[in-house]
Copies of this chain bind each other. A is one copy, B any other.
Amino acid sequence: MPRMTMIEAIRGAMDVSMERDDNVVVFGEDVGYFGGVFRCTQGLQQKYGKSRCFDAPINELGIVGTAIGMAAYGLKPCVEIQFADYVYPAYDQIVSEAARLRYRSNGGFTCPIVIRMPTGGGIFGGQTHSQSPEALFTHVSGLKVVVPSNPHDAKGLLISAIEDPDPVIFLEPKRLYNGPFDGHHDRPVTAWSKHELGEVPEGHFTVPLGKAVVRKPGADLTILAYGTMVYVAEAAAAETGIDAEIIDLRTLLPLDLDTIVASVKKTGRCVVVHEATLTSGFGAELAALVQENCFFHLEAPVARVAGWDTPYPHAQEWDYFPGPARVGRALTETMEA
């Protein structure tokens, strides 16, 4: 199997999907001739023509709004929002329109769109290139929310998302585009070419939506993570020596609750980690669900490690980012509680 970066995997997913289905179209800001500021759509316009892959005006509302109209027509638009931080202008179209179209028309019209966007911090992007807005979508009935953590899953999940009959928010942790990142910004990063999850099948394959995966089995404690935090969790577990079971959620909505509950019932302890700010983050839902479903198995409160409740700062990036030390502290505390 070829090894590739997450960018190549994402591009590959769109390529395969466009190849197989004429109805798949790709557009967004700078995604056409140039191939996207992260180059995720590079070459697609050249291969499939300007009607299938094209530049959009800088209007996120319009990008999603026209995609909804196209989807109602029968196309399968896969659009890019340049950074997740810029999705808010499209929020009304996503929440009031895409998410409810099937329901309110009783299936008369449907909205199979994918909205891709780079998410998360760790690149000194400041307030407007670092946000993790997943919880603003997991509260919206009718949406699916996906966060891949490696090239293999990114390709398989994106193909699933494009083939899905409902709207999917596809959040790409930009810090992982070129390699897994364990939160140690002062150490060199491994490239995906050196990592087994950089191995990606050629052609068509899928990773199903709604299924989590146990990245590392363990007996002492369950860590629930997604995206970049999967590797931070691995580092924290390794550094503390705690035998943690690490679950990579992959899809946040709908959530694979069974995998979570089975693990926590086994370990009796649970730590949730995410980059987004703590309050009302997706970790709140996870903690609430775990205590609801595993209360009598829990030895300690479910702990959350998350971004602080401040805007994402520039200079203090590594004070803000929930790195291995902070996660490790939560692991230790949860073990000792």
Contact = CB atoms under 8 A, between A and B. Distances in A.
Interface residues of A, number: 45
Nearest to A137: B280
Contacts of A285: 279-280, 284
A324 interface: no
A100 B311 contact: yes
Nearest to A92: B88
A327 to B, nearest CB: 16
A310 interface: yes
A47 interface: no
22 contacts: A85-B96, A88-B95, A91-B91, A99-B311, A104-B127, A135-B139, A136-B139, A138-B280, A139-B279, A141-B277, A141-B310, A142-B311, A253-B279, A279-B285, A280-B285, A284-B285, A287-B287, A287-B291, A292-B302, A292-B303, A292-B304, A293-B301
Number of copies: 2
Contacts of A302: 288, 291-292
A145 to B, nearest CB: 10
Contacts of A91: 88, 91-92
A312 to B, nearest CB: 9
Interface string A302-324: 11100001110000000000000
